[in-house]
């Protein structure tokens, strides 16, 4: 369709969000570039190969309590009136009375104490019948021992030990591989690593990780009225390109934030062609059907426009295309419309290009204290402010009925609609906590309805 045809036709037919996203993602392929990265630099990077544990954790049977390693059968029937008498191996007379030598309650001291043993904890030979060996939480249980008696259940006199409570086989012992088994699959390709994952990798002896390189994005703000600072009459400070670049970084990508390109076909063509080496090209502004909205026409000349006009609000004048195999996302110039479309289309495209999974954005449940309206057939993103507490609601769960009603009266979090229109008012999204997504079949939600609030600025 020519530019003139588009201008006259407007957006009488708009593609549904899910269909538009599907068309775009069908043309996005993982870039496949892999780097081996030191463990200290892999947080928020996507795993490129399946990672299996090369060693078990723990690598030995370890004491889960302070006390004495024993053969369980040597303690059977022990009681306060009839204690079992064992010989302490490797302990000198300074072992002292058990009441002053332990933790008091014998509870486990914490996961980081893998090497809490002192010199007397190191087993020198198999434990023989009738023997006990002093151990601390995390220390190795000697071969031949199959249980640990807690420190408060014994009393030591030199190299003799009275046991006042019998233990079963395996009691107070963490077996080899209790945490991680050797060969256990830890992460599949596409998993985005978190700090706790990094700790797990270190615990099994991995110091470098194969990860996908960060997907690249060329971010091109367009518009002859845009300036970076000190706007004069008729000029506007450029914010969309900066915002989108920050979102690219937050979503695991590597942005290149370009200078503003004026509304000129040749200039736009050159700018888009320059960034076709990137995994994704993003333009902001010039995506509608006005006289100066030239970007879709330029992309159509260079390649193919897949979608122009999507049934979402704010931001229906978005266009999605591909040039020489590179996806090109043409985001609207109004700031809120630009952000909405970036979340809906750029986020999944960028993550797919980078080999990353695309997790759902987190949501919290809240009760609306104002009506939210929507046009049937259009997916509306209504900005809200949150107040109150969660109560006993379940973050991430939806309401019990399709119209947003809920039988649960104990949801204390309140969602206040701030502005359901005004896609050019950046503060209406920057100063809110999230948005309520009204699906296409509904005309909106009434005040009092329990809804999901999507926390769109979540880094994942």
Delimiting residues of CATH 3.40.980.10 domain(s) in the chain: 3-32+213-353
CATH code for the domain defined by 363-454 = 2.40.340.10
Mean pLDDT, rounded, for 348-374: 94
pLDDT score, position 292: 87
Q: Which has the minimum average pLDDT: 71-80, 199-208, 376-385, 396-405?
A: 396-405
Q: Whole-number mean pLDDT of the chain?
A: 87
User: What number is the average pLDDT over the span 56-70?
Assistant: 95
Region 429-451: what's the mean pLDDT?
Answer: 90
Element at 304 (helix H, strand E): strand 304-308
Question: Where along the chain do the CATH 3.90.105.10 domains lie?
Answer: 34-53+183-212
Domain 62-174 has CATH 2.170.190.11: yes
The pLDDT assigned to 458 comes to 78
Q: Give every CB contact of residue 453 below 8 A, 6+ residues apart in sequence.
A: 363, 364, 365, 366, 384, 386, 415, 433, 434, 435, 436
Report percent pLDDT > 90 for the chain: 77
H-run or E-run covering 351: helix 347-353
User: From CA 204, how far away is CA 58, in angstroms rounded?
Assistant: 9
Fold classification of 34-53+183-212 is: Molybdopterin biosynthesis moea protein, domain 2 (3.90.105)
Distance separating alpha carbons of residues 70 and 293, to the nearest angstrom: 81
Q: How confident is the model at residue 121 (pLDDT cuts 50, 70, 90)?
A: low
Q: Looking at 70-79, 84-93, 131-140, 432-441, which range is the least confident one?
A: 84-93
pLDDT confidence bin for 431, thresholds 50/70/90: confident
Q: Please report which confidence band the pLDDT of residue 40 belongs to, taking 50, 70 and 90 as the band edges.
A: very high
| Mean pLDDT, rounded, for 363-375 | 94
End-to-end Cα distance, the chain: 37
Q: Is the pLDDT of residue 318 over 90?
A: yes
Q: 148: which strand partners?
A: 69
* pLDDT, mean of residues 188-215: 96
For residue 69, pLDDT over 80 is answered with yes
Statement: residue 111 has pLDDT above 90: no
5 against 190, higher pLDDT: 190
Q: Of 243 and 120, which is predicted with more confidence? A: 243
Q: What is the pTM of this model?
A: 0.79
- Apex 80 CA angle, 79 and 83, nearest 5: 60
pLDDT beyond 60 at 283? yes
Per-residue pLDDT, 413: 93
Buried/exposed code over 405-426 (b: 16+ C-beta within 10 A; e: otherwise): ebeeeebebbbebbbbeebebb
User: CATH 2.40.340.10 residue ranges in the chain?
Assistant: 363-454
Please report which confidence band the pLDDT of residue 5 belongs to, taking 50, 70 and 90 as the band edges.
Answer: low
- pLDDT for residue 125: 76
When the candidates are 3.40.980.10, 3.40.50.300, 3.30.1330.20, 3.30.70.580, the CATH number that belongs to 3-32+213-353 is 3.40.980.10
Per-residue pLDDT at 448: 95
Domain with CATH 2.170.190.11 in the chain: 62-174
Residues in the chain: 460
Helix (H, G, I), strand (E, B) or coil at 211: strand
| pLDDT greater than 60 at residue 181 | yes
Coil, strand or helix: which one is 94? helix
φ and ψ at residue 68, rounded to 5 degrees: -130, 130
Contact status, residue 52 vs residue 188, Cβ threshold 8 Å: no
């Amino acid at each position: 369709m020519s530019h003139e045809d588009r201008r006259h036709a407007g957006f009488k037919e708009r593609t549904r969000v899910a269909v538009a996203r599907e068309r775009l993602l069908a043309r996005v392929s993982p870039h496949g570039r892999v780097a081996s990265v030191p463990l200290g630099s892999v947080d928020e990077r996507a795993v490129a190969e399946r990672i299996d544990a090369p060693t078990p954790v723990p690598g030995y049977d370890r004491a889960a309590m302070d006390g004495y390693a024993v053969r369980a059968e040597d303690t059977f029937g022990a009681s306060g009136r009839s204690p079992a008498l064992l010989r302490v191996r490797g302990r000198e007379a300074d072992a002292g009375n058990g009441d002053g030598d332990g933790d008091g309650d014998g509870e486990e001291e914490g996961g980081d104490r893998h090497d809490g043993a002192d010199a007397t904890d190191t087993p020198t030979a198999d434990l023989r019948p009738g023997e006990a060996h002093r151990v601390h939480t995390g220390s190795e249980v000697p071969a031949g021992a199959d249980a640990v008696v807690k420190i408060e259940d014994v009393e030591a006199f030199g190299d003799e030990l009275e046991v006042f409570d019998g233990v079963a086989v395996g009691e107070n012992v963490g077996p080899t591989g209790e945490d991680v088994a050797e060969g256990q699959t830890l992460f599949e390709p596409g998993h985005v690593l978190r700090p706790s994952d990094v700790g797990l990798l270190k615990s099994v002896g991995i110091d470098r990780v194969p990860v996908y390189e960060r997907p690249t994005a060329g971010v091109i703000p367009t518009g002859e009225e845009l300036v970076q600072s000190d706007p004069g009459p008729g000029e506007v400070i450029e914010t969309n390109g900066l915002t989108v670049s920050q979102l690219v970084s937050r979503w695991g990508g590597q942005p290149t934030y370009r200078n503003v390109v004026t509304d000129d076909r040749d200039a736009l063509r050159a700018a888009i062609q320059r960034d076709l080496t990137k995994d994704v090209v993003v333009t902001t502004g010039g995506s509608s059907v006005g006289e100066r909205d030239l970007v879709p026409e330029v992309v159509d000349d260079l390649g193919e426009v897949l979608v122009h006009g999507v049934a979402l609000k704010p931001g229906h004048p978005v266009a999605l295309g591909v040039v020489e195999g590179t996806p090109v996302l043409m985001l609207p110039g109004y700031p809120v419309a630009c952000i909405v479309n970036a979340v809906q289309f750029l986020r999944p495209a960028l993550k797919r290009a980078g080999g990353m999974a695309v997790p759902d954005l987190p949501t919290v449940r809240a009760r609306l204290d104002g009506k939210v309206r929507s046009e049937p057939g259009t997916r509306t993103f209504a900005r809200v402010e949150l107040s109150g507490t969660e109560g006993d609601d379940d973050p991430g769960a939806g309401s019990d009925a399709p119209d947003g009603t809920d039988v649960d009266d104990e949801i204390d979090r309140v969602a206040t609609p701030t502005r359901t229109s005004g896609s050019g008012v950046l503060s209406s999204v920057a100063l809110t906590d999230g948005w309520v997504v009204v699906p296409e079949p509904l005309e909106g939600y009434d005040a009092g309805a329990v809804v999901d609030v999507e926390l769109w600025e979540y880094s994942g």
